[in-house]
Structure formats: structure tokens, C-alpha cells
Structure 1
Amino acid sequence: MTRFGKIIERFQGDENGAALVEAAITIPLVLLLSAGVFEFSNILNTRLLLEAGVEDAARYMARCSSDWETCKGRAQNLAAKGAVSNGSARVTGWLPATVLITPIPTAAVDVATGTQLYLSSTANVNVVDVSTSYSYPDVGFWSYLGFGALTLSVSHQERVLGW
């Protein structure tokens, strides 16, 4: 038998170090899976914060009794910073100027189907639409998986009670 054959024969049936080999194979996979879970949960948390801000701004605009521009500026700040004036950022890098607020005159009844959309004594009701887009900052893991830039977009509409 050759010298190499004797070395191989000596290792047959020897289980010393098997756990180390198994750990060396599984630990990178577990770490990769954990990083993915953390990244996905951070994306989900960011989206929920954006939704909360947009909904707050839409509710504020729907009930604001001041002029449009004053209400709009306050609502934009409320969306991005959580307060009508000042406040701290809900999401890092999300600016009040990126919050779009649009009034939408809407028919109370859908003309095509005759379905009543809003209870109203008039033919039209005012609805405010608040929307935003946010470029999710890449922390590296997302791009390692081959995904491109991620943009989160949210919007919310409220029927106007004020003005």
C-alpha cells in the first residue's frame, strides 16, 4: 500500500472534528439568513413609519381650518417629523418637501355605475391625497443579493371636513 493510502486508511471511521466541519458549513448560511431577516424587518419598519406619517398628514389636512398653504406646510412637517412644527425625523433622510399633498374634487356618486361613494348633500366632495416616495438607503446586503435600488411609495386619501 502506498503512503497516501495509509494516510487515508487512518482517517476512515475517525469522527473527530466532524462537528467542526458541520459548523463551518452551517454557520455562514445561518448568518446570511439572519442578516436577511434584519434587513427585511428594517425595510418593513421604514414603510410602516412612512405610512403613519402620510396618514397623519392626510387627517390633519382633512380637518385643518386655516388656509391651504399654511395647512400644507404643517401637514408636510407632521408627516416627516411627527409634529406640526419642529420635531425629529421619523425616517432618516425623509424631508417634508418630499410629501406631496393634492386636493381632489370627487363626485359623491360614481357616474358610470350610480354607486354612492360619499354621503353628501352636494354633487362633489373634497378629498385630500397625500403621497410620498422614499429611496431606501442601501446598507450592502440588499445589493449582494442582486437587487437594485429600493423605492418605497405610500399614499393615503381622506375626505375633507374643514376648509
Structure 2
Amino acid sequence: MAIVSETIRQFRREEGGAALVEIALVVPFVLLLSAGVFEFSNILNTRLLLEAGVEDAARYMARCSSDWDTCSGLAKNLAVNGAVTGGSARVTGWTTTEVTVSKSSTAAVDAATGTQLYLSNKSTVDVVQVGTSYPYPDVGFWSYLGFGDINLSASHQERVFGW
């Protein structure tokens, strides 16, 4: 019994390995936090690139003077590749098939509130909407935490000046 209590007293006085134990406890949490910050930043960057793409495409569609199918195809390429023809991918894996372009007639004045939405000499205006839904590539870290797949979406509307 005396040997055991003497051994315990020696361990209490010895502090040489305390820093090693503290590092062993803290490092996994710091690495996990760093990986989370990196992944969140990457998701946010991807979302901003998708948003910039659909905004560019909607502005292009609003002012395009060719037929709908031609303008739509060029706008989709502009959204995905940053150029009307050619270009390089804004987001890896994002394709023109994931971009939708639609046009609708919208009331110039909100009937419920009387608020003027668009300046127009007509009661309706044409509005083009470009949208996308992009499945964010799965990262093992995210699924280990129990989260499902992430689907990033963005859309933008512009009043049509062309056609």
C-alpha cells in the first residue's frame, strides 16, 4: 500500500508530460474545426459563383436581340463558363443542363398594395428568370457528421429590354 501511495505522489509532482497530454487532447478538435471552416468557405464560394453566373445570364437574356432558343443557349453557356461562347468552368461539374431560363409577364403594379414594381406604359412587363440547382460534391467529412447531400440553388430576374 505504501508503494502505491509513493508512486502516486511521484506522478503528482512530475509535470514533464502535461503539455503532450494537452496537445493530444486539443489537436483533434482544432483539426476538425479547421476542416469545417475550410469546407464552409468552399461551399460559400461555390454559392457565390453560381449566383454570379445566373445574374450574368439573366442580364444577357434581358438584352438579347436574337431568337429565344439562340439567346437561351448562349445565356446558359455564359452562366456556366463565364463567356457566351467558349470560356472556362466557373464551378467544376456545373453544366448548362442544370441552368433554367424562363420568361413570364408580370404586372407592372402590385394589385394588392398598389406599389409600382416596374416603370412601364403597359400594365404588364416581360421578365426573364434564370435559375440553377447544383448538387454540391459530397465530402466524407460532411456525411460523417450526419448531414445529407447539399443542393445549392440560385436564381435571378431581369426585366426584358430586347425582343
Structure 1 length normalisation: TM-score? 0.96
Equivalence for 2:21: 21
Are 1:161 and 2:161 counterparts? Answer: yes
Letter in 2 for 1:103: K
- Structure 1: runs of 5+ lacking an equivalent: none
Aligned residues: 163
Equivalence for 1:149: 149
Instruction: Give the superposed CA RMSD.
Output: 1.1
In 1: Cα distance, 2:112 partner to 2:7 partner: 85
Letter in 1 for 2:14: D
Among the aligned pairs, what percent are the same residue? Answer: 70
How big is the shift at 1:113? 2.3
Equivalence for 2:132: 132
- Which structure 2 residues correspond to residues 80-95 of structure 1 after superposition, within 5 A? 80-95=80-95
In 2: Cα distance, 1:16 partner to 1:112 partner: 75
In 1: Cα distance, 2:9 partner to 2:122 partner: 93
- Which structure 2 residues correspond to residues 1-163 of structure 1 after superposition, within 5 A? 1-163=1-163
Alpha-carbon displacement from aligned partner over 1:119-157 (angstroms, at most 9, x marks no partner): 001111100000000000012111121110000011000
Letter in 2 for 1:149: D
Report the secondary structure of 2:106's partner residue: strand
Report the secondary structure of 1:12's partner residue: helix
In 2: Cα distance, 1:4 partner to 1:85 partner: 80
Structure 2 length normalisation: TM-score? 0.96
In 1: Cα distance, 2:108 partner to 2:16 partner: 77
Larger mean Cα displacement after TM superposition, 1-10 or 118-127: 1-10
- Structure 2: runs of 5+ lacking an equivalent: none
Larger mean Cα displacement after TM superposition, 35-44 or 7-16: 7-16
Alpha-carbon displacement from aligned partner over 1:77-97 (angstroms, at most 9, x marks no partner): 000111111211111111011
How big is the shift at 1:4? 3.3
In 2: Cα distance, 1:35 partner to 1:115 partner: 47
Alpha-carbon displacement from aligned partner over 1:84-112 (angstroms, at most 9, x marks no partner): 11211111111011100000111111122
